[in-house]
Structure 1
Amino acid sequence: MTVGQHESSGSGTGKHVGKWRYFHDKFVVEERYLDPADRRGLYRASVILVVAGVALFAATLISVLQADGLSAADGPVRDWLLGLRSNTLTAIMIFLAVVFGPIALPIILLVVVVAWGFAAKHAWRPILLASAMLTGVIISQIILQIVRRSRPPVDQMLFGIDHTFSFPSGHVLGACDFLLVGAFLIFSRRKNTRAAVWGFVGAGFGIFLAALSRLYLGYHWLSDALASVSLSLIILGGVIAVDTWRTARVPGERITGELSKAETPRD
């Protein structure tokens, strides 16, 4: 091989390595320093969320299968909402159902992930958000086919007839994952506790509206929405654990990402 050929080959290899390093730093690496107590707190929160989610989902599922317990409130809540129906309120609920529906929400998610991915130094968090949403879709579809619960009577549905299964609610699970996971990924990088509290309050309000719209329009039972919330708590706990494991470093631990090094304090 001539010297020119060797340099050309080395240049090509260098470009390949450079592209891989860019991909690694942009899409994989996002490391940050935390106090050891803060990192332990994140792991503890993830465990609490997963345990609470599993317990709530188990209680809801058992009550649905046995037609008692938590599911005993399904009928009364449905009857109460039927008495609240009006043209104005129906229009608002249809708008909410569309926003959190299987067409609009994926589009919103795509826009957020792409814009966030390009704007941020690292694309770790938008990728994690998209992964959490996809996980929720897969889990809900599996449970739907296993439980095979019927929806409320079709003559009570106000936005078209839906003969698919109802447990859990895909609309509510999608809203929960998008709002809860999104809030965590945004506010976990900020020191403003008040802003984080308000962020999660806003997420909770959005989840309440998404669930209310599905119950009001006659497509789900209350226990369907509770199951979705419980599943989202499990997913949120998993996201917190994975994000902490991948990004949280305490002083003395090695930072592997070149871009992350620029954000860490100098010793």
Structure 2
Amino acid sequence: MAERSGTGKSGASGKNASWWRVFHDKFVVEERYMDPDARRGLYRTAVVLMGLGTGLFIATLVGFLQWSGLSAADESSRNWLLTLRSEPLTGVMIFLAVIFGPIALPIIVLVVTVVWGFAARHAWRPIVLAAAMLTGVLVSQIILPIVRRSRPPLELMLFGADHTFSFPSGHVLGACDFLLVTAFLIFSRRENPRAAVIGFVGAGIGILLASISRLYLGYHWVSDALASIFLSLVILGAAIALDTWRTARIPGERITGELSKADAPGD
């Protein structure tokens, strides 16, 4: 009887240890070796994106406040889009607005991060994606009540009235963060530059569609959408810097994640 009892405890302990091992391995950061020049290139890209995005966002904000620069095209672009309106095109734009909206997009992000987190050997990249999306939401919610920019006239809105502030566009910022950060996290682990180009071109097309839908439906000015794109460049740069700092190792540096040792040169 004592032996059976001891065996049962050992089995339970083994199962607990196995469960903990799986959980631990899932959250071991996926470190990887790369050439020193490649890592420096990633850091340079991150700095350029953050600097460029910040500068362009500030320029757009100042232009809106002084009604100059990029904001000077807000009225003319809105009037031009009014001439393109038609019932079939409006249906397409409403569909895009729903896909990139505050209900559908968070669901899509949640599904992607959960499925990716369970399917991947390491959960680091889905966590970075989720963090980038949350950062975009927080930044948008901080800026909106500070700038307090009014939206275009209510009579021009084709999908219900919206009385919230306009600068920056939350729809566009969410679409940019999701598409750009996802593209980086996927293609930064692949050595095929053509696939990376295709991935980022696809992300750019998605961003363009999300932006046009918000402008066409009458909810934002052009400078709102541009400000969101520029903010997303900052978030993308931060994601690149964080991911590179935590995962990129050059020959001679120690790999600390046990499951990442297979990425060492010569393995």
Structure 1 counterpart of 2:79: 79
State the alpha-carbon separation in 2 of the partners of residues 11 and 231 from structure 1. Answer: 53
Shift, 1:242, TM fit:
0.2
The residue aligned with 2:241 is 241
Map 1:8-19; keep pairs closer than 5 Å.
none
- TM-score, normalised to structure 1, is 0.93
SS across alignment from 1:262: helix
- Paired residue for 1:137? 137
Per the alignment, residue 51 of structure 1 pairs with 51
Which runs of no fewer than 5 residues in structure 2 stay unpaired?
1-7
Cα separation, 2, equivalents of 1:265 and 1:9? 42
> Aligned-residue CA RMSD in angstroms?
2.1
1:132-180 CA-to-partner distances (Å, cap 9, x unmatched) read 0000000000000100100000000000000000000000000000000
The count of aligned residue pairs is 264
2:120 aligned partner, one-letter code? A
In structure 2, the CA distance between the partners of 1:16 and 1:256, relative to structure 1 (3 Å rule), is farther
CA contact (8 A) 2:151 2:165 kept: yes
2:170 equivalent in structure 1: 170
1:149 equivalent in structure 2:
149
Cα shift at 1:68: 1.6
Return the offset for 1:17.
Answer: 7.2
TM-score (norm. length: structure 2): 0.93
2:68 counterpart residue number: 68
Query: Which residue in 1 is equivalent to 2:223?
Result: 223
Q: Closer, same or farther in 2 for the Cα pair 1:21/1:250, shift >3 Å?
A: farther
- 1:16 is displaced (CA, Å) by 7.2
SS of the residue aligned with 2:102? coil
1:4 corresponds to: none
Secondary structure of 1:116's match? helix
Give, in whole Å, the separation in 2 of the partners of 1:101 and 1:89: 18
Distance in 2 separating the partners of 1:27 and 1:208? 35
What letter corresponds to residue 186 of structure 1 in structure 2?
I
Instruction: Report the 3-state secondary structure (helix = DSSP H, G, I; strand = E; otherwise coil) of the residue aligned with 1:220.
Output: coil
Cα displacement (A) at 1:13: 9.0
**Alpha-carbon distance change, 181 to 259 in structure 1, aligned in 2, over 3 angstroms:** same
Please state how far the C-alpha of 1:264 moved relative to its aligned partner: 2.5
SS at match of 1:152: coil
Aligned amino acid, residue 79 of structure 1: N
Match of 1:42 in 2: 42
**Gapped regions of structure 1 (runs ≥ 5):** 1-7
**Aligned partners of 2:28 and 2:259 also within 8 Å:** no
Q: Give the fraction of aligned pairs with identical amino acids, expressed as a percent.
A: 73
Cα distance in 1 between the residues matched to 2:264 and 2:25 = 15
CA–CA separation in structure 2 for the residues paired with 1:242 and 1:15: 35
> Paired residue for 2:161?
161
Shift of 1:14: 8.6
Matches for 1:194-213 after TM superposition, within 5 Å = 194-213=194-213
Cα deviations across residues 189-232 of structure 1 (Å, max 9, x unaligned)?
00000110011011001000000000000000000001000100
Give the residue type in structure 1 aligned to 2:239: V
Other structure's SS at 2:263 match: coil
Q: CA deviation at 1:18?
A: 6.5
Distance change (3 Å), C-alpha of 1:17 and 1:42: farther
